[in-house]
Amino acid sequence: PPWRPALALLSPLPLPAGGRQQTFSTTCARCSKSRRLRQKRAISERQLTRYFVDHRKVRVVGGQGGGGGHSFYSEPRKIFGGPDGGNGGDGGHVILKADRQTKSLSSVLPFYQGFHGEKGGSKNCYGANGAYVYVKVPVGTLVKEDGKVVADLTRHGEEYVAAYGGAGGKGNRFFLSNENRAPTLFTPGEPGQERVLHLELKTTAHAGLVGFPNAGKSSLLRAISSAKPAVAAYPFTTLNPHVGIVRYQDYEQVAVADIPGLIKGAHQNRGLGMAFLRHIERCRFLLYVVDLSVSQPWIQLQDLKYELEQYKKGLSERPCVVIGNKIDLAQSRMNLPLLKEQIGDRVIALSALTGDNLEELLLHLRELYDAYVKTEQSRGQSPVRW
């Protein structure tokens, strides 16, 4: 009969050898897909640049204030009750708020507007104020207007009112006087403030890894922290800054930023140029990563300091340590004593690939961090903690 195939589809599945009835089909493509382990897909470095934005132009408008009410009190046996129109509510502000969990300006929209205030009602009822609009931005966001810095959000939870909401209008009750016992005048709400702001992100970290392309900065960050920047055997593998957290036994955390590789003329906008030189400004101390396998590795250090000094005076004079990477190679072991003779800074030779001598770097990194904390506390300022 024509109803028999449909009945067969509704019949339970046959029992397996164990005797328990199966609740899903093992041959159904939809069921088998739902049983797969859903893992987060790994994003390559080039794809990740689409989600990292360190510049954003934003137009912000405050909410408009509510208009004033226009009414007269009226009830039985009480005529001429007088005006009772309440004031309108104020418009909501647009507020920028620094959030530690936000790492990029990619989530910031090009336009924000605060909520409008409500109109004043009768019986002297005031209108409700418009709700505030909070825009989460990364810690280290610089706010500029017409080329001038108006705010610098460097701490978690710090707020800046980008656009104020308009004031609410006055109801006719506000204009009551001895000369005018029945005012009909009321005012509308004022429009909110309108501004065009430029947001600029400067990575906030304790230490910054500075070096030429393929010096091993990303490999070193992977070795000392849980960050996973892309690593490959071609220059400019890292296309945006990565921040890794180095954790110690006393629960102190040191943030280390992997800055994309610099080349000669970076201060003149060559290579990746000044797009990432500004991320070094926030670093309290610098870690110069030098490739020991090349000839005359001390030339790299001189070029790096020159580029930093040309970009911003005094940037190369911050507390630093020189890291001689790739000590596992034979040529690197030959160049190590020559490097120590040419420079006066401390040199830590290690291998990010094999993990040789990473303990010395971690100990010295903690010494630099403790010195930074003592300096900030002596100035009466609280140090940046992660």
What DSSP assignment string belongs to 174-238? GG--SS-SS-----PPPPPPEEEEEEEE----SEEEEE-TTSSHHHHHHHHSS------SSS---
Among residues 103, 45, 41, 48, which one has the least CA distance to residue 231?
45
pLDDT at 52: 61
Is the pLDDT assigned to residue 50 strictly greater than 50? no
Average pLDDT, integer, range 17-31 = 47
Is the pLDDT assigned to residue 356 strictly greater than 80? yes
Confidence of residue 138 (pLDDT cuts 50, 70, 90): confident
- CATH fold of 207-379 reads Rossmann fold (3.40.50)
Q: Which residues pair with 142 in a beta bridge?
A: 152, 200
Write out pLDDT tens, residues 55-107. 889 999 999 999 998 888 877 777 777 888 899 999 999 999 999 888 778 88
Between 309 and 60, the higher pLDDT residue: 60
Total-model pTM: 0.65
pLDDT at 110: 92
* Alpha helices for the chain (secondary structure H): 4-10, 29-34, 45-48, 217-224, 274-277, 298-311, 330-342, 358-378
- CATH fold of 51-202 reads Spo0b-associated Gtp-binding Protein; Chain: A, (2.70.210)
Confidence of residue 136 (pLDDT cuts 50, 70, 90): very high
Residue limits of CATH 3.40.50.300 in the chain = 207-379
pLDDT at 357: 87
Of the chain, the end-to-end C-alpha distance in Å amounts to 73
The two counts, helices (H) then strands (E), for the chain are 8, 14
Average pLDDT, integer, range 28-40 = 47
C-alpha to C-alpha distance for 246 and 248, rounded to whole angstroms: 7
Average pLDDT, integer, range 36-52 = 48
**What tokens appear for 347 in the block?**
């040199």
Write the CB contacts of 59 (distance below 8 Å, at least 6 apart in sequence): 110, 111, 112, 194, 195, 196, 197
Specify burial of residue 339 (Cβ count, 10 A radius: 0-12, 13-18, 19+).
Answer: buried
Residue limits of CATH 2.70.210.12 in the chain = 51-202
Q: How far is CA 255 from the centre of its chain?
A: 14
Strands 133-138 and 148-153: unpaired
